[in-house]
Structure 1
Amino acid sequence: MAPAPALVLIGAGKMGAALLGGWLAAGIAPGDIAVVEPQPSEALEKLAAEKGFALDGAPEPAQTLVLAIKPQMLDKAAPGLAPWLDSESLLISIVAGKTIANLSRRLPARSIVRAMPNTPAAIGRGITGAFANSHVTPAQRDRAQSLLSGVGAVEWVGSEQAIDAVTAVSGSGPAYVFLLVEALAQGGEALGLPPDLAMRLARATVEGSGELLRRAPDSSAETLRKNVTSPGGTTKAALDVLMAQDGLAALMARATAAAAKRAGELAG
């Protein structure tokens, strides 16, 4: 019988596939990886054939199992996942909302890292918030750090409750940015710009601003904002609206609170 794989990925949807791509790019041996995906895409099957990682296969306890399924699938999937784990396995869960206690009730792993990456992981520019329970050893935490950093930066938080806040800020955050692009383009349309031009201007503005932020790590967002804002100018006129008491900050506070609340409700 072949030895159990060192790394098992359960679920190869968008986030699971991003993680898999990051691991392969980082040089993890394909022979050390098994992917379990009930409905593998043609692209996944082709990648498995090309790279040589196992697709499905007979379950045996893995050194590390990364759980990347939808939260509503956990109850149904748990019995089939249990044979991939034992008390020595490290379980890394990116299942939104599902707590470590919830996972422990359903799966035999003791060492559990709960993580929340975001969709820029697909291009290696994600950021992941992570929390390790008390059973995770220093070596297992290093292993989790290495695997999660394959798709971007990793930030460790000191309490599991903070993962809901991470979900609200960075996990869901890309959608807020995309909505900003939509809204900015709509504002341009309202001022008479053709829709396609308004969208190109809005996209390029957000793309460039993000890159400027990335290239100026020692400058705060506040500093960069002030650098664009001349007293009495057009930007200041717009910011007077956005920074009003009921403006963007208040709206974003309500939005992130709603996301964090929903993350808690998904704990189930």
Structure 2
Amino acid sequence: MAAARSSRKWKWSHLYLIAVFVVLYAPIFFLMLYSFNSGGAMHDFEGFTLEWYKEVFADTRLFIIVLNTLVIALLSSALSTILGVLGALAIQHVRRRRTQNMLLALNNVLIVSPDVIIGASFLILFTIIGIKLGFVSVLLAHIAFSVPIVVIMVLPKLEEMSSTWIDAARDLGASRTDVLTKVILPYIRPGIFAGFFMALTYSLDDFAVTFFVTGNGYSTLAVEIYSRARQGISLSINALSTLIFLFTIILVIGYYFINQRGNRPPGMEVQR
């Protein structure tokens, strides 16, 4: 009886997971499929073509927007990774548990807050202090919502690290800089790379916050796709969205392998 119940439970749980993944990914695959439709519409698949991808690659304005998006994503990810690592180190060094929990709660505010509220808040802030909407405003906003993500990715690695390593390094005469650069940072490197890739993914995909803080003459891919979609259905949007989705998948796979490498038991690379 118990075996039958567990088998039934196993089947229902797997059916539920399959249904969830179908709901999540079916619209994406539908969009990707019709990016190859020669008919030019989101119905009646007439034949295979790469015309819409050629249109995307031939669009000079779109190429500039892609460069804007990549520059913002790489810069904001790099700067937020540095700030996030420093923030995680600061939180981890707080001795009082209550203070540490309070800092973690403050760190998580930007993660759990609605993007519309965050975007509107940044818009008001930049308007008050006189920052012109454009590259700088978008960069600062992306750094702000990426830092908490990096902190969340790095902090668990710091919690895992044994304090005896730091004590041993100090007993051997290592300075604080040596302890940081030769003991702590190498150990938390997988968390740092994971935080960088997650921040990069969030920056590439963000629309709501960017929509509020971007100005005339400056745009990112997410905002551009929204603007084109409002003008009417064009399969070049499908092609562009497919390319972004595939690039995001590559980032996620990179994060997965970095995370797997960081979870290897110590000594495996030495034995190899």
TM-score range, shorter chain: under 0.3
Task: Considering fraction of residues, name the structure with more strand.
Answer: 1
TM-score when normalising by structure 1:
0.26
Question: Greater helix share, 1 or 2?
Answer: 2
Higher relative contact order (CA 8 A, sep 6+): 2
- Higher-Rg member (1/2): 2
